[in-house]
A and B are shown apart, each in its own frame.
Chain A
Amino acid sequence: MNTQELKKAQALSGAEAVAHAMRQIDPDVVPAYPITPQTDIMHAFAKFVSDGKVTGELICVESEHSAMSACVGASGAGARVMTATSANGLALMWEIVYIAASLRLPIVMSVVNRALSGPINIHCDHSDSMGCRDSGWMQMYAENNQEAYEQTIFSMKFAERAKIPIMTCMDGFITSHAVEPVILFDDAKVKAFIGDYRGDWPLLDVDKPVTMGPLDLFDYYFEHKRKQSEGIYLAKNIFNEVAEEFDRTFGTKIDVVEKYFFDDADTVIVAMSSTCGTAKVTIDKMRKEGKKVGLLKIRLFRPFPSWELRQILKGKKIVAVLDRSESFGAFGGPLFTEIRSAMYEEKGPKIVNYIFGLGGREIDAGMIERVFTEIDAYKTNEIKEYVKYLGVRG
Chain B
Amino acid sequence: MKEIIIIGRGGQGGKSAATILAEAALEGGNFIQSFSEYGAERQGAPVYSYCRIDDKEIRIHQGVTHPDIVAVIDPTLLPQLTMTEDMPDDGILVLNTTLSPKDVRDKMNIRKCKVFTVNATQISIDCFGKAIPNTPMLGAIERAAKLVTLDGLKKKITDKFLRKIGEEAVKKNITAIERAYNEVKEG
Listed in ascending order, the chain A residues whose CB lies under 8 Å from chain B are 1-3, 6-7, 9-11, 36, 122-123, 144, 171, 173-175, 177-181, 274-275, 277-278, 280-281, 362-365
Contacts and interface: CB of A to CB of B under 8 A. Distances in A.
16 contacts: A6-B26, A6-B31, A11-B19, A11-B26, A171-B61, A173-B38, A177-B35, A178-B61, A179-B32, A274-B61, A277-B59, A277-B61, A278-B60, A281-B60, A363-B62, A364-B65
Q: Looking at chain B, what size class is its interface with the partner chain?
A: 20 to 34
A3 B54 CA distance: 11
B4 to A, nearest CB: 13
A324 B117 CA distance: 42
A181 B26 contact: yes
Contact of A11 (B32, B36, B58): B32
B35 A181 contact: no
Top-4 shortest CB links A-B: A178-B35, A277-B59, A274-B61, A364-B62
Contact of A278 (B19, B32, B36, B59): B59
A327 B54 CA distance: 39
Most buried by A among B29, B55, B59: B59
Contacts, number: 69
Q: Is the interface of A mostly helix, strand, loop or mixed?
A: loop
Interface of B: 19, 22-23, 26, 29, 31-36, 38, 41, 55, 57-63, 65
A180 B41 CA distance: 22
A365 B55 CA distance: 20
A295 to B, nearest CB: 11
A178 B34 contact: yes
Q: Is the interface of B mostly helix, strand, loop or mixed?
A: loop
Given A3-B55, A7-B29, A11-B22, A278 B34 contact: no
A122 B34 CA distance: 19
B25 to A, nearest CB: 9
A171 B31 CA distance: 21
Contacts of B38: 122-123, 173, 177
Nearest to B156: A11
A278 B61 CA distance: 5
B162 to A, nearest CB: 17
A10 B26 CA distance: 8
Contacts of A278: 59-62
A53 to B, nearest CB: 15
Nearest to A181: B26
A360 to B, nearest CB: 9
Contact of A179 (B22, B55, B60, B65): B22
B61 A11 contact: no
A362 B62 contact: yes
A144 B31 CA distance: 14
B61 A179 contact: no
B64 to A, nearest CB: 10
B61 A173 contact: no
A364 B63 CA distance: 8
A178 B33 contact: yes
A364 B3 CA distance: 15
Contacts of B23: 11, 179
Contacts of A7: 29
Contacts of A122: 38, 41
Contacts of B57: 1-2
Contacts of B41: 36, 122
Nearest to A14: B35
